[in-house]
Amino acid sequence: MTSGAARHTDIFGAVSLGYAVVASQRLTDWRRFGADALGLHVDELTTDTTRFRLDDHACRLLIQRGPSEDVTALGWQVDDQATVDVLLARVADAGLPVTEGSDEECAVRGVERLWRVPGPKGTATEIYTRATTSESPLRMLQDGFVTGAAGLGHVAITAQRPEQIRAYYASIFDARLSDWVHERIAGLPLRIRFLRVNERHHSVAIAGIHGLGVDPIRTAIQHLNTQVTTLDGMLAAYERVIDHGFRMQWSVGQHTNDRELSFYCVTPSGFEWELGWNPIVVTPEQELTWAPRTYDSISIWGHTPIGENVVTRLNNIRYAVRAARRGEPALPAF
Identify residue 173 by its one-letter amino acid code.
F
Given this model, what pLDDT does residue 5 score? 75
Q: Please, is 333 exposed, middle or buried when counting C-beta atoms within 10 Å of its C-beta (0-12, 13-18, 19+)?
A: exposed
Question: Where, residue-wise, is CATH 3.10.180.10 in the chain?
Answer: 3-128, 148-326
Distance of CA 330 to the CA centre of its chain: 19
- The answer to whether the CB of 193 falls within 8 A of the CB of 170 is no
Q: Answer yes or no: are the C-beta atoms of 66 and 79 closer than 8 Å.
A: no
State the Cα–Cα distance between residues 236 and 198, nearest whole angstrom. Answer: 29
pLDDT at residue 187 in the model: 73
Q: Residue 273: is its pLDDT beyond 50?
A: yes
More confident residue, 185 or 326: 185
- Greater confidence (138 vs 308) lies with 138
Q: What is the pLDDT averaged over residues 151-172?
A: 96
Using an 8 Å Cβ cutoff, are 202 and 157 in contact?
A: no
- Quote the CATH superfamily of domain 3-128: 2,3-Dihydroxybiphenyl 1,2-Dioxygenase, domain 1 (3.10.180.10)
Rounded Cα–Cα distance for residues 326 and 54 (Å): 36
| pLDDT at res. 237 | 98
Q: Which of 123-137, 210-224, 226-240 has the lowest mean pLDDT?
A: 210-224
- Range from 49-63, 138-152, 175-189, 284-298 carrying the lowest mean pLDDT: 175-189
Q: How far apart are alpha carbons 299 and 192 in whole angstroms? A: 13
- Count Cβ atoms within 10 A of the Cβ of residue 195 and give its class: 0-12 exposed, 13-18 middle, 19 or more buried: buried
Task: Find how far residue 322's CA is from the centre of its chain.
Answer: 23
User: What confidence score (pLDDT) does residue 3 get?
Assistant: 66
20 three-class SS? strand
Give yes or no for residue 310 having a pLDDT over 50. no
Phi and psi, residue 117, nearest 5°? -135, 155
Please give the CATH topology (third level) of the domain spanning 148-326: 2,3-Dihydroxybiphenyl 1,2-Dioxygenase; domain 1 (3.10.180)
Residue 140, pLDDT > 90, answer: yes
At residue 227, the pLDDT reads 98
Under 8 Å between Cβ of 71 and 218: no
